[in-house]
Structure 1
Amino acid sequence: MDQILGQVLRNAVWERLDMLADLANRADTDSLVSVARSELPRLTEGWRAMLSAHEPDERGDCPTCSTRWHRCKAPCSVWQVAHEHLVAGGLAPQQDLRGSWRKSKNSVPSQTRGPKATQAESTGRHALIPQVATR
């Protein structure tokens, strides 16, 4: 049951990100301004909440990414991705970002992918990564 709820949550997030990317690429100026005013504060708050959970502890380890047996030194992958997309990405030449995150998902380390997809998780537009790779 938890796997199904987790997949529903992940699908909802992917769908929301797809919708925002589509709006950014297709919306007229007035609609884009309206979406930016409503969504940018939500997105920045989301990034802040996620990054707060990954702030290094007094030993310089990420408390969220670290386990009892393996310490993850800061900056963890969450901070690295945040920097890449929020800071360095602004300096890089512009590219079509639609789908670029989807393509790079396959480079996510296998320990973060979770178990192999069950039948219930292997359907829909945003099925788990192992199913996407087999298409």
Structure 2
Amino acid sequence: MDQILGQVLRNAVWERLDRLTDVANDADAPALISVARSELPRLAEGWRAILRVHEPDERGDCPTCSTRWHKCKAPCSVWQVAHDHLVAGGLAHFQHSRRYRRRRAESTPDETNTSTTPATRPTGRHALIGRPHR
């Protein structure tokens, strides 16, 4: 049940991001201003909430990304992605994405893994392992 609920939650988030991208690309100026005024503060607060849980501890480790056996030094990947998208702009994002996709491809289990049943496997366009960039 948790897997199904998780997939529903993920799909809802991906759909919302898709809608916002569509509005940014297709809306007229008054609609775009209205959406920007309502959504930008929410998105900024969402980033703040995510980044708060990835603030380094007194040892300089990310408490969220670290495990008992592997400590993740700050800045963790969440902070790096935030910087790439919010500060550095497109070029840093492009370079990070290529590195991430290469690393992800090397570590992704093969497709023959049957640990999920057909009923719990994600379906539809949001079932992709890596999101395509628009």
Q: TM-score range by the shorter chain?
A: 0.7 to 0.9
- Aligned positions of 1:15-30 closer than 5 A: 15-30=15-30
Unaligned runs of 5+ residues in structure 1 are: 96-100
- Aligned positions of 1:27-106 closer than 5 A: 27-89=27-89, 92=91, 106=101
Counterpart of 1:98? none
- Report the CA distance shift for 1:54/1:41 in structure 2 as closer, same or farther (over 3 A): same
Q: How big is each residue's C-alpha offset from its partner over 1:45-79, in whole Å with a ceiling of 9 and x where there is no partner?
A: 00000000000000000000000110000000000
% of aligned pairs identical?
A: 72
- Report the CA distance shift for 1:104/1:56 in structure 2 as closer, same or farther (over 3 A): same
CA contact (8 A) 1:24 1:32 kept: yes
Counterpart of 2:118? 119
1 or 2 for the larger relative contact order (CA 8 Å, sep ≥6)?
1
RMSD: 3.0
Q: TM-score, normalised by structure 2?
A: 0.77
Q: TM-score, normalised by structure 1?
A: 0.77
Q: How big is each residue's C-alpha offset from its partner over 1:14-73, in whole Å with a ceiling of 9 and x where there is no partner?
A: 000000001000000000000000000000000000000000000000000000110000
Q: How many residue pairs get matched?
A: 121
Tell me by how many angstroms 1:123 deviates: 1.5
